[in-house]
Amino acid sequence: MTRDRPYRVLVTDAGTGASNNLVRSLRAGDLTLFIAGCHSDRFYLKASSADRNFLVPSPSHPGFAKAVQRIVEMASIDLVLPNTDTAVRAISDARGGIPHQVFLPDPAVIDLCQDKLELTRFLARRGIPVPRTLPVSALSDLERLFRRFRRAPQLWCRIRMGSGSHGAAPVRSAAQARSWIRYWYEMRGVKPTSFTLSEYLPGRDFACQSVWKDGRLVLAKTCERLSYFEGGSQPSGRSSIAGLARTVHEPRVVDVSVRAVRALGRQVSGAFSVDLKENARGEPCITEINAGRFITLMNLFDLTGRHNMAQTHVRVALGLPAAISRVYDAAPDHYFVRNVDAEPVIFPARRFFAGMEDVRA
* Per-residue pLDDT reduced to its tens digit, 2-25: 567 889 999 999 999 999 999 999
Tell me the residue ranges of DSSP E strands in 176-262: 195-199, 205-213, 216-228, 242-247
Q: What is the per-residue pLDDT for 356?
A: 86
In 3-state terms, what secondary structure has residue 116? helix
Asked if pLDDT for residue 64 goes beyond 60, the answer is yes
The answer to whether 309 touches 232, Cβ cutoff 8 Å, is: no
Asked if pLDDT for residue 341 goes beyond 90, the answer is no
Q: What is the per-residue pLDDT for 347?
A: 93
Q: What is the per-residue pLDDT for 1?
A: 54
The percent of residues in the chain predicted with pLDDT above 90, rounded, is: 81
* Per-residue pLDDT reduced to its tens digit, 134-190: 999 999 999 999 999 987 899 999 999 876 667 889 999 999 999 999 999 999 999
Residues of 250-282 as b/e, b for ≥16 C-beta within 10 angstroms?
beebbebbbebbeebeeebbbbbbbbbbbbeee
In 3-state terms, what secondary structure has residue 88? helix
Nearest-10 crossing angle of helices 64-74, 85-93: 80
Rounded Cα–Cα distance for residues 361 and 357 (Å): 12
**What's the whole-model pTM score?**
0.92
* Per-residue pLDDT reduced to its tens digit, 258-315: 999 999 999 999 999 999 999 999 999 999 999 999 998 999 999 999 999 999 999 9
**Helical H runs in 30-63?**
42-46
**Span 204-227, average pLDDT:** 96
Distance spanning both ends of the chain, measured CA to CA: 53
The answer to whether 285 touches 201, Cβ cutoff 8 Å, is: yes
**Span 61-82, average pLDDT:** 96
Domains by residue range for the chain, with CATH: 8-102 (3.40.50.620), 132-199 (3.30.1490.20), 205-351 (3.30.470.20)
Beta bridge partners of 148: none
Give every CB contact of residue 148 below 8 A, 6+ residues apart in sequence: 134
Q: What is the per-residue pLDDT for 74?
A: 95
Q: How confident is the model at residue 230 (pLDDT cuts 50, 70, 90)?
A: low
CA Rg, the chain, in Å? 21
